[in-house]
Every structure is written in structure tokens, then in C-alpha cells.
Amino acid sequence: MNGAKLPDGGVLYDETEDDEDDLALPEPSESAGPIASIDWNEGLRNESGLKGAELIAEFVKHLPNAPGVYRMFNEAGDVMYVGKARSLKKRVSNYAQGRVHSNRLSRMVRETTHMEFVTTRTETEALLLEANLIKRLRPRFNVLLRDDKSFPYITITGDHRAPAIFKHRGARARKGDYFGPFASAAAVGRTINSLQRAFLLRTCTDSVFESRTRPCLLYQIKRCSGPCTHEISDEDYAALVREAKDFLSGRSQNVKAAIAAQMAEASEDLDFERAAIYRDRLSALSHVQSHQGINPAGVEEADVFAIHHEGGLSCIQVFFFRTGQNWGNRAYFPKADPQMSGAEILNAFLAQFYDDKPVPKQILLSETVEEQDLLAMAFCEKAGHKVSISVPQRGEKKDLVGHVLANAREAHGRKLAETASQARLLQGLAETFSLPYVPRRIEIYDNSHIMGTNAVGGMVVAGPEGFVKNQYRKFNIKSTDITPGDDFGMMREVMTRRFSRLIKEEGIPDRSKSAASASTSDDINDSGFPAWPDLILIDGGQGQMTAVRAILDELGIRDVVTAIGVAKGVDRDAGRERFFADGRSDFSLPPRDPVLYFIQRMRDEAHRFAIGSHRARRKKEMVRNPLDEISGIGPGRKRKLLQHFGTAKAVSRAGVSDLMAVEGISEAVAKQIYNHFHENRAG
């Protein structure tokens, strides 16, 4: 019997033999009956042809009164919902009996064609597993945390005689002390900049540190103490490191008092130059704290959450306090059913938020959530220390939550204004080009190259909330049949690759629906965003559109996707663009038309993305080593060759006997290298 490990060391039993994913759930096994046996290692499988409430009622007969997690699948095999329960039998029976509080969940029950379950030892284990699965699977009927950015930290390294201070993201692979999270990279940059002046810690890499023979410019401008060339002793540098750690650990007043005492002592000794150094360090520390905004005295380590839910949109504002200092804030707009309350959304949000983040000792909320005690227990197990979750009723903490809530309201208002503006532009776009309904996904294409070299096609995506950058794609032009500089040929390749893959992965959607039903289409990908575009914009004129339409005809999707060409106007002036659409002559829009500005902005973004992708490919091409092209020459042999000869050019001039003198280069390999650079001569 195998099991997936839980954060507290518990085990979830499943049917897999060699499961590499600790939190993977069992796949259903083959079974003889309509609903399989209740052997949990074998799973439950639907072979009855039932769906909806009838199917769920059959599953309920075999469920235990035990905590666990369940998944609901649709006919296509996609996970629609992940839920957890104190009692699987009681929770799932609610679906079978129609006890759902929204039309959205009623629809989910109707579409259910299969369910899968896994039991856990406790409800807290079920909560942690549920949060992990929701973030990984992104089911369309769950509250989804839209969080594609990791938080930055400050790290002071601990594996070097002269520790360095760096900005850090990702896994904590290097030994050292980590301080955070900070809300943004800019906040980390400002803090490190001030800490350099306050504590004179190095920010150079270890390789640069080891190669220095004299102090660098940072030492000259009093931003580093120069440990690389022993301008400061290791003992004195270690004292600076301790002070920096104390400051970042919340003992900032003690650090400032100690530096002030040293400044006073230097002044009494008439060592005004040393006193000025301490004065500048105190000024830098004050600068750090002055840029942190509110710093409540009674909040040592806490995250403060406030939610504002109105108009079908939720904004959750999070403030981070560590070591008594405010380390920034961030606004989130989770995807959720508009009929859900703010407390329900906040409850689901919290479990997902801390799935991959350290949990502080205290969490302050703007309103009480249903599973507050359960969340606290789960976070205690995950973090290994006591975690309290509370809704302050009075005093400084209540004022703090009120401040965070005010920020949530302001961010909510800004987001609604942006969304409304975007909605008006999309409506105007649909009216201008006589589209059957307002587009939910727009793809914009452009190509970039220099005389046909390093050609790249770029695709950017826009939707109701603006540009969707995690949907951007680049296409390195691979065809050898395309004449260098043939923009039509490049566009044909891009269109063929893009839509051939889309058809293979998603199938061709049914666009014979009315405008009203199209807005609730099932054409949704894993990110909760439509997979198929309603409109594609091509940066080009009639020639480009001819190539694009030929591909759409060939793939049988001419009536599925609307394609419009955007050609630069006379003298390539912005505002004089010509548009090419099916069934009408090319035309222009009035110079101050908001739709024209909208299209220009989308086209410019596609142009920026394509040029950036081309430059990255060209840079990579420029630094490519000629030795990379030789079969059998891997990193090890390449390194030995470059260490022996110095440059790739010197390798190309070497004879076979010279090449054989390099460790690891046999006669056969030496001849292969020689022949690669001397095509017309025998080895």
C-alpha cells in the first residue's frame, strides 16, 4: 500500500506503485460493477452511464464517514471542482440531494460524469491537500487565486567568510538567513540600497569577490567596506553582518542606539571622520523605515487581509509585517462565483495563499471566516509553530485592519474602472467590425527578423481584463523552404503551427451559438481563460491576409475565427491604418476613434513582444560557440578544449596531434574536430 506524504508526515493512501508526485491522487481502476467496490486502494469508477445527481447518489452509497478530498469531472475528463469534507459521505450526499446554493453549482452537478475520492486522517490534512490540488489543477468552479508571481526576499549568505546581501526568489537552496516576504522587487531594491549604506555589506558575486585585487567603486563611494581586499578585518565585517541581521530581525532600535553611541564616542575622541560615517549609517537606517509607511508597535509578525466584495468583483488586500516593520502590500482579485459572500471567498483564498508561502505567527482578517479554527490548526501543522487567526475588534490592530480595508476598496474601484473601460472598448470593437458577439480572447500576431535571419513570430493575447501575458507565445521560424525575408511564408508557418496544435489539444469549438450563449461557452483552458480566439489581428495588409485565410480554409476554421489585417497607413503614420476584413473593402477609422487607439495599443504590444523575442534569439546566436555544432563534444570536452587552447578559433587551427594532447580527446574525436573545421582537407 503506497501513500502520498502530507505536510505533517501523515500518509494519504492511493493505488499508485511509483508515484513521483507527493500529492497525486489515484486514477480510477477497472471494475466489474456499475460503481466499483469500496476498496479505497482500488478507487471508485463510474461505468453505469449515469451523470449528475443520479451518479453522485450511487457514489454516496460507498463513501465512508471519514475526512477526505473529492474531485468532480465532466464528460471531457476535466476536473471541474475540488472539495474537502469532514465526512465525505455527508458532504457528497448534499450534491445528490440538490443542496446547492447557486445556479453555478447546480450546473456543476448536472455536468458531473465521474468523481474520485481520497481519505485523510484529519480534516486539516484534507484542507491542505485541497488547497494544493486547487492551485495545481485550477478547477473552473473553485475560487482561484490568481497568483503567478513569487514573493522576493532579502538573503544574507552564510557559506562564505564575507557574507553578501542579495535579493532572492524561489527555493532556498543556498545556506544563509532569509528575510521577507517583501511585496515587490522594488521594495527589496530600495531596502538593500539603504542597507548597503548603513552596514557596508558587499553585493558582488563570489566569483567577482575572489578575483578582486583592489577595492571596487562601491568601496570608494562608501557603499561597501571592502572585505575582498581586507580593507576591513573579518571580525569587524562579521560585526556589521550581525548588526544587519539584527535590524532585519526586528531589533532595529537596539542597532540604532548602538550606532548612535559609537558616533557619540567618536565625537568625544574628536574623530569627526569616523563620527560622520556613523552619522551616515544612522541616516540610511532612518531612510529604510521612513519608506515603510505604517509601522504599528503592537504587530511584530503578521499578515493582514481585508476583502472588499462588490459588483461581482472581489479585491483582497494583503499587508506584510515582519520584525515590527511594514514590508509592503499586494492586491489580489481571485476568480470566484459572484454569488459567493466575501467571507466565503476569503476562506478559500487563505488556504491557497499559504500553500507555497511561509506562515506568520499572526493573521489578521477584516471579517470572520467559517473555517477560521480549522485554518489555524492546518497552518500550525504546516508552519511548525503556533498561528493565530483573528478579527480585531478594538485598538491599534482594528485600526490597522481598517487601513488595509480602505486600500482594498481603492484597489477594487480602480480595477472596476479599468474593467469597465476595457469592456467598452471590446464592445466598440465588436460593433466596428460587425462581430457576432463581444470577443473574450483576441490574439495579435507579428513577425520580426533582420534580412530574414533569426526570424521569430510573436503572439500576444488580450481579453476583458487587458493583456494576458501568461498566454503569450513565440514561434521560432523553422522552415527551410521559406525565402529569407518572406513575411507571407513566415505568417503561414506561424498560423499553421498555432491552429494545428490548438485543434489537436482543444478540438474545434461550436460557434453556431447565439451571442448570449457564446459568453458562457465551455471553451475554457486550465487558466480559466478561453482557449480559442474570437478574433485574430494580423500586422499586415492584403498579402498577409491572403496567406492567413488560406491556412484557415485549409484547417477548416475560416468560420470559427474572425481574422482582420491591420496595415500601416500612408507613410507608415499611426492613425492612418487600413483594415482588411472578410466581406468588405479595406477601410480606415477616424483618427481619434477610441477603437483605433485600442487596436494600435494591441498592435504595438505584439510588435514589442516580437522584437524582444527576436533580439533574445539573435543574442543567443551571437554568443553560440562553434564547438557546440560538433557532434560528441559536450560541456566537459568543450571546457577542456577551451582551457587548453584559450579560444574556439585556436581550436579550429589546431592539428590532430595537438588536439589529442587534450585530456579526454581520443584520436577519433580529434579527427572529427579537425574535419569539422577543415572540410576540404583530410585529417
In the chain, the domains with their CATH numbers are 2-137 (3.40.1440.10), 153-290 (no CATH), 302-414 (3.30.420.10), 434-507+531-620 (3.30.420.340), 626-677 (1.10.150.20)
Confidence at 171, pLDDT banded by 50, 70, 90: confident
Confidence at 443, pLDDT banded by 50, 70, 90: very high
Determine the pLDDT at residue 317.
92
The number of beta carbons lying within 10 Å of the beta carbon of residue 294 is: 12
Determine the pLDDT at residue 683.
43
Distance CA 523, CA 509 (A): 7
Distance CA 438, CA 520 (A): 12
Which is higher by pLDDT, 24 or 84?
A: 84
Residue-wise pLDDT for 578-601, tens only, equals 899 887 888 888 877 888 889 988
Q: Answer yes or no: is pLDDT of 158 > 80.
A: yes
> Which residues, at least 6 apart from 413, have a Cβ–Cβ distance to it below 8 Å?
none
Q: Are strands 302-310 and 313-322 parallel, antiparallel or unpaired?
A: antiparallel
Confidence at 284, pLDDT banded by 50, 70, 90: low
Three state DSSP letters for 453-504: EEEEEEEEEEECCEECHHHCEEEECCCCCCCCCCHHHHHHHHHHHHHHHHHH
Q: What's the whole-number mean pLDDT along residues 337-351?
A: 87
Q: What's the whole-number mean pLDDT along residues 417-435?
A: 87
Determine the pLDDT at residue 145.
81
Residue-wise pLDDT for 529-565, tens only, equals 788 999 999 988 888 888 888 899 999 898 889 999 9
Burial level of 371, CB count in 10 A (0-12/13-18/19+)? middle
Q: Answer yes or no: is pLDDT of 436 > 50.
A: yes
Confidence at 569, pLDDT banded by 50, 70, 90: low
Q: Answer yes or no: is pLDDT of 148 > 60.
A: no
Look at residue 42 and give its three-state secondary structure.
Answer: coil
Q: What's the whole-number mean pLDDT along residues 345-368?
A: 88
Distance CA 396, CA 298 (A): 7
Distance CA 553, CA 559 (A): 9
Which residue stretches of 269-326 are H helix?
272-290
Residue-wise pLDDT for 215-240, tens only, equals 889 988 888 989 999 898 989 899 88
Query: In angstroms, how far apart are the furthest CA atoms of the chain?
Result: 93
Axis-axis angle for helices 234-248, 252-268 (nearest 10): 140
Q: Answer yes or no: is pLDDT of 179 > 70.
A: yes
Confidence at 32, pLDDT banded by 50, 70, 90: very low
Q: Are strands 535-539 and 562-567 parallel, antiparallel or unpaired?
A: parallel
- Measured in residues, the chain has a length of 683
Q: What's the whole-number mean pLDDT along residues 266-272?
A: 75
Full-model pTM: 0.62
Query: Which grid coordinates are listed for 82?
Result: 475540488
Distance CA 669, CA 683 (A): 11
Residue-wise pLDDT for 621-677, tens only, equals 655 667 777 877 888 888 888 888 877 778 888 888 888 988 888 888 888 888 888
> If phi over 0 gives left and psi between -120 and 50 gives alpha, with beta otherwise, what is residue 212?
beta
Q: What's the whole-number mean pLDDT along residues 406-411?
A: 89
Query: Which grid coordinates are listed for 362?
Result: 499572526
Distance CA 681, CA 484 (A): 31
Q: Answer yes or no: is pLDDT of 682 > 70.
A: no
**For residues 285, 288, 294 and 297, what is the CA-based torsion angle, rounded to 10 degrees?**
-30
Percent of the chain with pLDDT over 70: 82
Ranked by mean pLDDT, the top range of 68-82, 258-272, 623-637 is: 68-82
Q: What's the whole-number mean pLDDT along residues 318-328?
A: 79
Determine the pLDDT at residue 101.
64
Q: Answer yes or no: is pLDDT of 299 > 70.
A: yes
Q: What's the whole-number mean pLDDT along residues 72-93?
A: 89
Which is higher by pLDDT, 345 or 514?
A: 345
Which is higher by pLDDT, 478 or 405?
A: 405
Please give the mean pLDDT across all residues of the chain: 79
Percent of the chain with pLDDT over 90: 13
Q: Answer yes or no: is pLDDT of 474 > 80.
A: yes
Q: What's the whole-number mean pLDDT along residues 442-471?
A: 85
Q: Which residues pair with 574 in a beta bridge?
A: none
Confidence at 47, pLDDT banded by 50, 70, 90: low
Which is higher by pLDDT, 553 or 614?
A: 553
Confidence at 288, pLDDT banded by 50, 70, 90: low
Q: Answer yes or no: is pLDDT of 252 > 80.
A: no
